[in-house]
Structure 1
């Protein structure tokens, strides 16, 4: 009766458990955010500050230097760097990893408030920005139109499109590019103003005081208290024209003194879409929101509002992060599916039992769903790395289930009942698979103690693998025995494969017997093989992270310092013609002047243009994005008077491949050194587009004040500066409200008075007495040269030289550059030094920390096994399988032309935990047989052939499960590919060597121990 109840209750309970797991997993999956990469927290913040009209040296002295000094007092600051250029400064503050950046930025704002009074009064409050990759726009859109229509296009974007997109859930901000803004411009003739005894400052004060609505108290009347308000705001341009101005010649209308026109503000930045004038707007998402869902909702909203827009207004997508996310995740998911199918095929091939294959087939989705549940409750997101972790773990997920299932299947074939086979089979290998799972999981523990970008990237991957293994252990110990007790049947006859495998088994027994007869030769041959593989190490290059083809190319064009926006646009027309002939280009978006939405900048940069070039999908082109970039790079070399750089495969968080810093006090010496370094590294093969941060000197007009002459007229330096500034830049007197917008009322001097040095010399400066004297009477005006940009690091002036790489690894190229610089670029004294940053610095930091994590992982694996075996000896034997992986790793990296990088080191970390599993299963069974009374040699010869099948099955499922990733199928798999290659080749070679080498080492150590015991007995006797 009880057995009957149990037989009914067991499948019901099992079904309920599986259904519960699937339901919770589905809910977890639906609610997990989807992103390209996990949320990264960079310990970097920026301070941006503008100072219109100031040159780089003034900006350095008046802004950058005091801000650097005050930032240096903050806790946990690692380094401070600044860039001073015309009109502004950018100060970057790098903190130690692990710093609370919310608290750090709050401290930065407090320090800025403390030093605010020492900055020039006309400088606006500096802004503090955190560097957060999640703040990068998830979409960039553009609307093209004629130059005449762009004002209306921008108005439609501001009034209709932006409010609609702001309401989309998950959208944080919609930023509109372009300087298409109107203003009321009042152009004055200084001679005419002088005749009336009026100055620009007087007009500014008058217009500002007249354009006001002023509360003026209240009045009680008819039992009511009514507020009084004097309304004097201008309602139209006519009001401004009719404004009465008191002068020395009487009251006149403002229109009699100045020309009043409604016009566009001077543009310092313009945008183009496929060569046509355009307005661009970018969209940022809220932190923690689902990128794919937000982009889908945005596209739906755009389709919804499209009918209400003008017929000829088409919104085009320049950049769509969700597109690459979908392509990348789809590729990884397909790799998981293909890997699962291959794993199931291996199982069926070995067992030739469809029910056993079905049991394992069910264990894979249950393990994956279980992993998603753990990921959801630990706050992880679905991204390229977490899914890559599941792809890495898909082969390992079935390892535990296979070991248990194979053992149950073997006992079932021996004639045991379903229930007894399930119970005894699980019990026999249960402790071994728990130990093997713990050894794999424990290797990820050291990553918790690793800091830096590598840890930020790979912690989510480590958690995903860990969760998948924990879920697979639960499935193997609970679900698989239950399913086996219900579904497994016996194979009455052996298949052809099983017959042939029996022959392999017999052959393996003979090989094992032969090696046990010559154990020292076996060890010697293995050591020789390891030494030969080590000889190939110098031929393996090094890298930080592999390049990712995101179907996106960036072009940056820099003209000589001081070039106008018009000159910059002339160069972009030539670039546009080149892009039209590149068939892989789908769309190009140009920002001429200033900076784009993907970089932080300060100051005016009218000599710069940046392109965002969207390529057709990978499936529709034969060239990679790097090859397309090289094609464009070769073609743009013919464009004169422009420094044009082309880049691709930018992950968004890694630095430039080559970054050389030259540090020293004198800018002229730094310029000479940077020229020598540029010439030297240009000769290194693979180096592309070396660029120096110090450009050619910036042409400028220098006004040298004669203080004695100026004081004789009662004129101070600030009066001269104000007069020049008002004449060249104008000054905003007030604004005019219209249709909810504010139009600036700007007072300017007619261009003919400032368009040449002669005109500038005749500019009148008013003394305190009211006397007006020409500028040439109190100052000397001449042309000069000044720095276009000044970079400092830790308060020392610095020049940074950056370059990209093509078809060569980072480590080899950096070593060649170091050797050439020592030979070609001697440094003038101890005040100057050359350091390497960029990806080389990131790579060395990551290698050092991950190597330490790998060493700690080996220790932890040994400790786990020592606890499991309750012995230090057997774990010591098993650990011999770890160095054997180097044979396969080196061979795999060599034949795949894959450099050693962060991904490869993570693969080694994972492999450390995997490779010992087979040895654990083998040694554990040898110990079990010895406990029954067998001698060591007989136990090895018995255990080896019995454990051969599960060892080969688990190894093959892990290897075949990673084959799609190792081949790099699909987009976005570049980061996981090195890990997969290391595991596939390392495990392949180590498995076959382990099957022979570990039993031999076990035998040798046991013989030595036996001799010691015999010798001890003889002494005691």
Structure 2
């Protein structure tokens, strides 16, 4: 059941079980398109004729063929009616055994029959096979399940698993000679379930942490628990609404779709922050609480006025963000399938947040902020209930119970005390402590502890205390920086207004840097998704036979399986029984599953396991694990028999108070390190190197380009030899191109398969009166064997083949001795009728667009972008052609192909659609402000944020940036800093940044408009004072947007789970852009003030 090969079963037995039981059963699973068998031997009845006896009896091969065909036939003879009952009449003549074939009559003379057994040896044997399956050095039989087009992979996998469970009870068993029972089992060797679950778990974890950090920022910066509850409540409700719409519109929850929610959180919070902050301002500001007549507004009226004041800005900001994602809906091909769900979920998330902000938050706010006597009287009861509920909840989740108890105790303390506020002076600062402050402190401590427990930025091998301190420093440190910024904002803005030309140098420099970096950043289609498995695809020499390929395949599998981080490896040589897999025997596919860094449970979540006092993991059989990652003297005080060096999930004991079990050795820190280990152990003579590939990635590449590498050149020409020669010349040149991995360059050896060609002498045929067809049929039957008929044995079908014995067709000289029957006279040896010669020919013939074609495969070095590498290679080849070093033969053409073409196509689409969307957004801004200049100011701020995103991408690729240790961790490694290329994922991040940056600009410009309409300053000083007043009042919601976005992205930037490879490139532009977006808090007011001063100057003239 663990997939270990135990013996006791012949490969043909296993293949029969696969073909006629497992295959049929799995094919019936919903969503399955095909089940293709691979490995083992397909059983057949083989009739090996004896040419000497055939000559003695004067019987030709055609007679034997006819006899075998006619010996295997059932017929239906309709019905007979006997005693008014109808009987079906059948003639039973199907072959059931070897004896049935042996008794078939070939000829009869003088009442004496010549049967098959008189002139041939009949036995069961294997068909010629073109596919081999091997598991870690042992031959096995398997099947490949292909899902239907458009089917949900996880649903199909679950359906297949259900079918496997149903089939398992009917699988045969066998008692071996030593008394052991051997049970045939179905063991998946490639299953995407874990990848899907781990990917979704990574994103769910990131989403949860983002929401927690967002709540923390809101609580600290708003410093009002009621308002914080309002804003924080928006997020889960909006996310729930997104999931409902996904269900209604049949959008699957995958890594990219859920990333849409992750990158929308900043804008979703922004909507709630702007509204809640304005409500608090209206509730606290004496001028806004009273009418001109001096009568105070009711709470409902105050909330209404606050909502109406910013609803236009909120609607405009959300609309511009939604429109900014329209280009993603226009993407086609692979990028369209990948990112359209993201655009959908982000659009739904923003729409949901808008509906909640404008229609749900105001009534809830009116309820929360209304002062009533009922609430005062019920405080004691409510706080008592909180404590009781907390004690009850301790059983299910201790952290939630403690939080509720803390809130209840705080409420009881201030309810029972006559004094509702306590004043303390610490280091010269006066602190006012009341229930709101205490509740905020409790909330902050709880959130930071939860972040430390579930985020674990320093790693799961570091203590919870170290992670807690690190999280507290990161969160409160950044919040402190932004608090200081807010305190000195007015002073900096005043300086910027007075020295605007000097200030404008800063955003101008940022813009120039951004443009320069953008033009020099590498391009690729998509960052590779870590699938948790590799696909090793080397090739052997074209002339290698079945046994040689089997030997090499087994050596490869055993070498890879010897690496401790490898969970299992299954290799395939040749093809499966499917039209989808036209692979030659010399092409290997080794599916390598490596262990996840930390042991996970069945749901793909990291699991803690029991450890003893010495820190060793305890096994169920009372043994202990020597884990190289333990920082203790493992074998002290233990006997050798008590210790093991590795363990499976089933051997460890789950314990939520235990430790996480790390599967990798200390020197292995990433999947790239595992791949490098694989490369080291798979260097065999006669076997090519292979590019770094993963199963899903490879299938996509092969479907798009037909090649088994992410990049390559397709060479078209008039004949295969010319194509091969030109490909070899390109191979030599490509090895010298910048950014190309030399060992991964490989041109197809098309003409490398040895052929045995038989030239028929037509003059000799005429002499004996033999036709070409007669000779060809003898060759086909005698050498290759001709499948004549099929036996019907229940549901099983086995072929019957006639051929010469192996010893009589082992070499060309044997072939010459094959007799060809002549209509009159004795049979003629084949050697008198043909000439036999050797020649090299094609192993496989490929064509595209009616042209013969060959491939030159290559891969890029780490740190280089796909598009740049292709452009370098193109330039080098063209240079060699121009120099005369490379001559393109007549009729030959070549072109580069690969996944980079998707990037070029996506760029082409975006270059048309993005400007159109910008125009639409500009029109929306114009309708909001009724001013071209104000709309352009908002656009200028967006451009600065864009430049900030490119600067952050550049910094990520610089080795010196953040290259220092903090708490023993290198920050570059902690934040996954490496070269980031411009890909579709990065552009999606920029589009998301566009929406968030637009929000801030719209809010700032809207309030500036409102301020100038109400104040109507008539002097330069008045204009600047009005600008300071308006910007000062809007800085808190704008700053909260930036802080929330930047801090909330930290868990994404530090995540290392499956799916983080796609999330991080999307997050980096937003992270960098929002940091630089701080300059827009000065840029928009400075430009607005400049415009008003210019208008005033013209009016005075």
Whether these two folds match at TM > 0.5 is yes
Shift of 1:989: 0.5
2:70 to 200, 206, 209: 209
SS at match of 1:805: coil
Counterparts of 1:762 and 1:500, CA distance in 2: 93
Shift of 1:713: 2.7
Counterparts of 2:807 and 2:109, CA distance in 1: 25
State whether structure 2 residue 946 is matched by structure 1 residue 859. no
Shift of 1:338: 0.6
Query: Which residue of 2 is the match for residue 996 of structure 1?
Result: 1082
SS at match of 1:559: coil
Shift of 1:742: 2.2
Counterparts of 2:791 and 2:481, CA distance in 1: 92
After superposing the two structures, state which structure 1 stretch, 761-770 or 400-409, moved more. Answer: 761-770
1:332 to 203, 208, 212: 203
Instruction: Deviation per CA, 1:445-490: give whole Å up to 9, x if none.
Output: 2333332221221111011100000000011111211221112389
Query: Which residue of 1 is the match for residue 611 of structure 2?
Result: none
How many equivalent residue pairs? 872
Q: In 1, are the aligned partners of 2:71 and 2:101 still within 8 Å (CA)?
A: no
Counterparts of 2:824 and 2:773, CA distance in 1: 16
Shift of 1:884: 0.8
Q: In 2, are the aligned partners of 1:733 and 1:745 still within 8 Å (CA)?
A: yes
- Summarize the alignment of residues 605-644 of structure 1 with structure 2, pairs less than 5 Å apart: 605-619=584-598, 620-621=663-664, 622-637=668-683, 639-644=684-689
Shift of 1:832: 2.9
Note closer, same or farther for the CA distance 1:367–1:721 as it changes in structure 2 (3 Å cut): same
Query: Which residue of 2 is the match for residue 343 of structure 1?
Result: 214
SS at match of 2:114: strand
2:809 to 754, 757, 761: 754
1:985 to 1052, 1068, 1072: 1072
Q: In 2, are the aligned partners of 1:146 and 1:276 still within 8 Å (CA)?
A: no
- Summarize the alignment of residues 816-835 of structure 1 with structure 2, pairs less than 5 Å apart: 816-824=872-880, 826-828=886-888, 831-835=891-895
Note closer, same or farther for the CA distance 1:542–1:405 as it changes in structure 2 (3 Å cut): same
Query: Which residue of 2 is the match for residue 266 of structure 1?
Result: 128
- Summarize the alignment of residues 11-50 of structure 1 with structure 2, pairs less than 5 Å apart: none
Counterparts of 1:189 and 1:358, CA distance in 2: 92
Shift of 1:647: 2.6
Q: In 1, are the aligned partners of 2:206 and 2:1052 still within 8 Å (CA)?
A: yes
Query: Which residue of 2 is the match for residue 973 of structure 1?
Result: 1060
Q: In 2, are the aligned partners of 1:626 and 1:648 still within 8 Å (CA)?
A: no
State whether structure 2 residue 723 is matched by structure 1 residue 670. yes
Q: In angstroms, what is the RMSD of aligned CA positions?
A: 3.1
Note closer, same or farther for the CA distance 1:255–1:596 as it changes in structure 2 (3 Å cut): closer
SS at match of 1:675: helix
SS at match of 1:583: coil
Give the structure-1-normalised TM-score: 0.80
Counterparts of 2:1003 and 2:149, CA distance in 1: 46
Query: Which residue of 2 is the match for residue 137 of structure 1?
Result: none
1:920 to 997, 1002, 1007: 1002
Query: Which residue of 2 is the match for residue 807 of structure 1?
Result: 862
After superposing the two structures, state which structure 1 stretch, 961-970 or 184-193, moved more. Answer: 961-970
Counterparts of 2:483 and 2:816, CA distance in 1: 102
Instruction: Deviation per CA, 1:700-735: give whole Å up to 9, x if none.
Output: 111222223323333333332222111112112323
Instruction: Deviation per CA, 1:642-661: give whole Å up to 9, x if none.
Output: 22425334534246332122
Instruction: Deviation per CA, 1:80-104: give whole Å up to 9, x if none.
Output: xxxxxxxxxxxxxxxxxxxxxxxxx
After superposing the two structures, state which structure 1 stretch, 724-733 or 569-578, moved more. Answer: 569-578
Counterparts of 2:754 and 2:515, CA distance in 1: 57
Q: In 2, are the aligned partners of 1:626 and 1:647 still within 8 Å (CA)?
A: no
Note closer, same or farther for the CA distance 1:485–1:572 as it changes in structure 2 (3 Å cut): same
Shift of 1:850: 2.4
Structure 1: gaps spanning 5 or more residues: 1-139, 1016-1021
Shift of 1:567: 0.7
- Summarize the alignment of residues 214-613 of structure 1 with structure 2, pairs less than 5 Å apart: 214-216=75-77, 222=83, 228-246=89-107, 251-285=113-147, 291-292=153-154, 295-296=157-158, 298-299=160-161, 302=164, 310=173, 312-313=182-183, 314-415=185-286, 416=289, 417-488=298-369, 504-505=485-486, 507-537=488-518, 540-595=521-576, 600-602=580-582, 605-613=584-592
1:906 to 988, 994, 998: 988
Counterparts of 2:154 and 2:553, CA distance in 1: 33
Instruction: Deviation per CA, 1:854-880: give whole Å up to 9, x if none.
Output: 323322211221223334332122111
Instruction: Deviation per CA, 1:654-705: give whole Å up to 9, x if none.
Output: 4633212233324333222222222222234551411223345211111222
Query: Which residue of 2 is the match for residue 658 of structure 1?
Result: 711
Counterparts of 1:557 and 1:289, CA distance in 2: 31
Shift of 1:1000: 1.9
SS at match of 1:558: coil
Instruction: Deviation per CA, 1:154-206: give whole Å up to 9, x if none.
Output: 45556665566566655555444335332211110223213222222222222
Counterparts of 1:872 and 1:815, CA distance in 2: 41
Instruction: Deviation per CA, 1:319-341: give whole Å up to 9, x if none.
Output: 11111111010010110111111
1:877 to 894, 918, 937: 937
Shift of 1:369: 0.7
Instruction: Deviation per CA, 1:382-440: give whole Å up to 9, x if none.
Output: 11111111111122221101100000011112253532331111111001000000000
Q: In 1, are the aligned partners of 2:526 and 2:984 still within 8 Å (CA)?
A: yes
Note closer, same or farther for the CA distance 1:768–1:516 as it changes in structure 2 (3 Å cut): farther
Give the structure-2-normalised TM-score: 0.74
Q: In 2, are the aligned partners of 1:695 and 1:789 still within 8 Å (CA)?
A: yes
Note closer, same or farther for the CA distance 1:171–1:817 as it changes in structure 2 (3 Å cut): closer
Note closer, same or farther for the CA distance 1:508–1:596 as it changes in structure 2 (3 Å cut): farther
